Amino acid sequence: MGYHLLRVFANDWQIYGLTHSKGFDFKGATAVNCDITNYIELGNYFDDIEPDAVIHAAAIADGNFCQQNPEMSYSINVDAGKNLAGICCDFQIPFAFTSTDLVFDGKKGMYTEEDEKNPLSIYGEQKATAEDEILKIYADATVFRLPLMYGYPEASAGNYTGKFINQIKAGETAILFNDEYRSAGSAKNISEGILQLLGKTSGIIHLAGPERLSRSEFGKKIITAFNLNPGLVQETSQKNAKNMAPRPADVSFDIKKAIHLGFAPKNADTELGLIANGKYI
C-alpha cells in the first residue's frame, strides 16, 4: 500500500515517509526514521516538517502474529493512530487512517459504512478500536476501510500478487478458499481514491474493487492474466484452514458512498491485465 501511495502522490506532493525498521529508496520521497508509538518524537518531526496532510498506513497486519502478540501489535495498530490523530487535530490538517474489512464478522457480506462492527480476530478488534479512538480524538479525520489488495508484484516482499505468482511459477500448488469472499481492490486504484478524497470528506469510507470475489475466483483471475498453469490451483473450504486468527467468511464491501463521492473502482480483470503487461504504473 505504501509503495502505491508514494507512486500516486509523487507528482503533486512533497512526501515524507516515516519508517522505523526498514528504509526505502524512492525518488520524490524523503525517508524519515521515526518511532510512531513515541508521541514526543512524532511531535518533534511534525514541528520540523510542518505537513499539510498525513496518511497513516502503518500496521502489523499479520493476523496470526497479532493473536500471539496482542500488546506489541496494539501499540502499532491502535496507539500510533491515536498519537497521529491527536497531533493532526492540533495542527488542523487532513488525517487519513487505513483500516480493514476485518472489522466485520463476515456473516452477511456487502457491508456498508453504517453496519455494526463485530471483529473475530485480535487484528480486527484493534482496527475497530483504532477507528473509534481516532474519530473520537479528531472528528474531521477520515477512516478508509480497505479490502484484500493487489498491485505491482515488486512493491514489497509481502505482496500477495507477487507471492502467488512466484508460487505457481515454481510449480507449487496453491490452495485457495472457495467460500471466503472479499472485495479485492487494486492498491493503485485505492491510492488514487485516497488522493481524490483526502481532506474532502470525514468519517468512514469503504474503498475497494467493484466485485465480490472468493479467494479462489480471484486466484483464477491472476492465473488468466499472467497465463499461468490453472492446474496448480486447488479449491478448499475456509473451514479446513488451521489458522490461529479466526477468518470471517464474507467481508465484501458496499462502496456506493465512495462512488457517490467520485471514486472510480476498476475491476480485477482490467487491473491484473495492466499489471501482467507492464502498463499498471
154-189 confidence digits (pLDDT tens): 777 667 888 889 899 999 999 999 999 999 999 999
pLDDT at residue 3 in the model = 87
What φ, ψ does residue 132 adopt, rounded to 5°? Answer: -60, -45
pLDDT at residue 274 in the model = 94
| The residue type at 241 | A
In this structure, the number of other CB atoms found within 10 A of the CB of residue 40 comes to 8
Q: Domain 2-276's class? A: alpha beta
Collect contacts of 190-194 with beta carbons under 8 A, ≥24 apart: 190/1, 190/4, 190/144, 190/146, 190/149, 191/1, 191/4, 191/5, 191/7, 191/8, 191/9, 192/8, 192/264, 193/144, 193/258, 193/263, 193/264, 193/265, 194/5, 194/8, 194/55, 194/96, 194/144
Residue with cell 498519537: 83
Residues of the chain with pLDDT under 50: none
Spacing of C-alpha 215 from chain mean position: 16
Q: Decide if 18 contacts 5 (C-beta within 8 A).
A: no
Give the three-class secondary structure for 50: coil
pTM of the model: 0.94
* DSSP bridge partners of 204: 143
pLDDT at residue 228 in the model = 93
pLDDT at residue 19 in the model = 83
